Structure 1
Amino acid sequence: MQRAERLFQLLTLLRNRRTVMTAKQLSEHLQVSERTVYRDIQSLSLSGVPVEGEAGVGYRLSHRYQLPPLMFDRHEVEALLLGARMVSSWGDMDMAAHAKQAIQKILAVLPDHLRHSDENLPLLVPNMEEIQKFYTAHSQPIREAIRARQRIKIDYTRADAQASTRTIEPLGLIFWGKVWTLVAWCQLRVEYRTFRLDRINTLDVLNEIFETHDNKSLKHFLALQDESCQDWNND
């Protein structure tokens, strides 16, 4: 990676964070040593970029600093287009519509030699519209409940074909290439549980707010799976 490109990526990383990033985190993203990160931070500061923070604590860009609009190269455009096609085929209908709108906005501001990338992209994603509604059932209200931290009540068919009613606290959705899985804190089991969306029969968003914390969050759930190397608790 050229140094100019690395400095630009460093700026992008810092701009996209509200909290500080340590030199170790930056070095892992950029795949360079922490010493290189320190030198790059110094170069940015000397060039007038207001980087706040210090070694051993972390860095961030001043909230007053504004970068010029970003432009994509051909490889980045192709990656965005492929990702949008995947969302259109494998996400729920609302998500698919917004993905298409986002791509149209991106294409509208691209230079002429990139504007028709969507038509010429030699990467295809199968159209799953017929089964999309089945595998993404209830995805939109679940996403809204996750954002609002609202409990939901579901009537669910378990893996053993038994019916079950649960009140759960939705934490995140994970796509497995065919099915979507909801990660949640189950009030019945008093622990994390995962639920396949295509097995949810009915869903009600409750007027009950829940809180997340260090020991109850999607991040904590994933960390536990990494530590135990065990299968997820599916219901």
Structure 2
Amino acid sequence: MHRAERLFQLTTLLRNRRTVLTARQLSEHLQVSERTIYRDIQSLSLSGVPIEGEAGVGYRLSHRYQLPPLMFDREEVEALLLGARMVSGWGDMDMARHANQAIQKILAVLPDHLRHSDETLPLLVPNMEEVQRYYTAHSQTIRAAIRIHQRLRIDYIRADEERSSRVIEPLGLIFWGKVWTLVAWCQLREDYRTFRLDRIQSLDMTGETFATHEQKSLKHFLHIMKARHEQDCDKAPSNPQEPL
């Protein structure tokens, strides 16, 4: 990566965060040493970019700073279009509509030699509306409840076909390549639980709000899952051909 490109990416990273980023976090993202980050931060500051913070604490960009309009190269355009197509093909109807609108906005600001990239992109995502509606059932209501931190009451059929009703606190949605899963805090179990959207029979907002914290959030859930996965890997036999 050329230095000019690295400085631009560094500025973009800082601009897109409300909290500070440490030199280590920046170095890991840009795959350079922390010493290089310190030099780059100094260069940007001397050139007039208003970076706030200090070594050993973290850095952020002043909210008053505005970057000039961005331009994409061909590979970036293809990545954006593919991502929008995936959302359009496998998100709920509302997400699909907004993804298609985003595609049109992206294409409208591209130079002529990239403007028809959507027509020539050799990466396709099947869009089957009947299947899409089945696997994204209740997604719009769930996303709204996540945004406003509102509890939900659901009727659910488990994999063993046992039915259950419970009140949950929705924390996030995870897409597994076909199936959407809701991560929630279950009031009945007082613990995290996951629910496949296509197995939710009915769903209603309760009107009750909830709060997240360090021990109850999507980030905390993912941290637990990562730790469990690492423990499972540590317990695996040294010879993969040996039976467990």
TM bucket (normalised to shorter chain) is over 0.9
Determine the structure 2 residue equivalent to 1:145.
145
The whole-number CA distance in structure 2 between the counterparts of 1:146 and 1:160 is: 27
Question: What is the letter of the counterpart of residue 18 of structure 1?
Answer: R
Determine the structure 1 residue equivalent to 2:11.
11
* Superposed counterparts of 1:37-48, under 5 Å: 37-48=37-48
The whole-number CA distance in structure 2 between the counterparts of 1:153 and 1:130 is: 25
Give per-residue Cα distances to partners, 1:125-159, cap 9 Å, x unaligned.
11222200000000000000000000000000011
| 1:80 equivalenced with 2:80 (yes/no) | yes
The whole-number CA distance in structure 1 between the counterparts of 2:12 and 2:207 is: 38
The whole-number CA distance in structure 1 between the counterparts of 2:58 and 2:175 is: 33
Question: What is the letter of the counterpart of residue 70 of structure 2?
Answer: L
Question: What is the letter of the counterpart of residue 52 of structure 1?
Answer: E
Give per-residue Cα distances to partners, 1:34-91, cap 9 Å, x unaligned.
1110000000001111111000000011111111111111100000000111111100
The whole-number CA distance in structure 2 between the counterparts of 1:191 and 1:63 is: 38
* Superposed counterparts of 1:84-123, under 5 Å: 84-123=84-123
Determine the structure 2 residue equivalent to 1:197.
197
Determine the structure 2 residue equivalent to 1:23.
23
Question: What is the letter of the counterpart of residue 213 of structure 1?
Answer: H
Question: What is the letter of the counterpart of residue 4 of structure 2?
Answer: A
**Shift in Å at residue 166 of structure 1?**
1.0
Q: TM-score, normalised by structure 1?
A: 0.97
Determine the structure 1 residue equivalent to 2:238.
none
| 1:160 equivalenced with 2:160 (yes/no) | yes
SS across alignment from 2:155: strand
| 1:134 equivalenced with 2:134 (yes/no) | yes
* Superposed counterparts of 1:213-232, under 5 Å: 213-229=213-229
The whole-number CA distance in structure 1 between the counterparts of 2:169 and 2:143 is: 12
The whole-number CA distance in structure 1 between the counterparts of 2:224 and 2:45 is: 39
* Structure 2 residue runs without a partner (length 5+): 233-244
Determine the structure 2 residue equivalent to 1:181.
181
The whole-number CA distance in structure 1 between the counterparts of 2:8 and 2:189 is: 47
The whole-number CA distance in structure 2 between the counterparts of 1:113 and 1:84 is: 20
| 1:55 equivalenced with 2:55 (yes/no) | yes
Determine the structure 2 residue equivalent to 1:67.
67
SS across alignment from 2:204: strand
Q: TM-score, normalised by structure 2?
A: 0.93
RMSD, aligned CA: 1.0
The whole-number CA distance in structure 2 between the counterparts of 1:181 and 1:47 is: 47
The whole-number CA distance in structure 1 between the counterparts of 2:114 and 2:204 is: 45
Question: What is the letter of the counterpart of residue 214 of structure 1?
Answer: E
Question: What is the letter of the counterpart of residue 115 of structure 1?
Answer: R
SS across alignment from 1:13: helix
Give per-residue Cα distances to partners, 1:156-214, cap 9 Å, x unaligned.
00111011001000000000001000000000111000000000000001100000000
SS across alignment from 1:189: coil
Once superposed, which parts of structure 1, at least 4 consecutive aligned residues long, lie more than 3 Å away? none
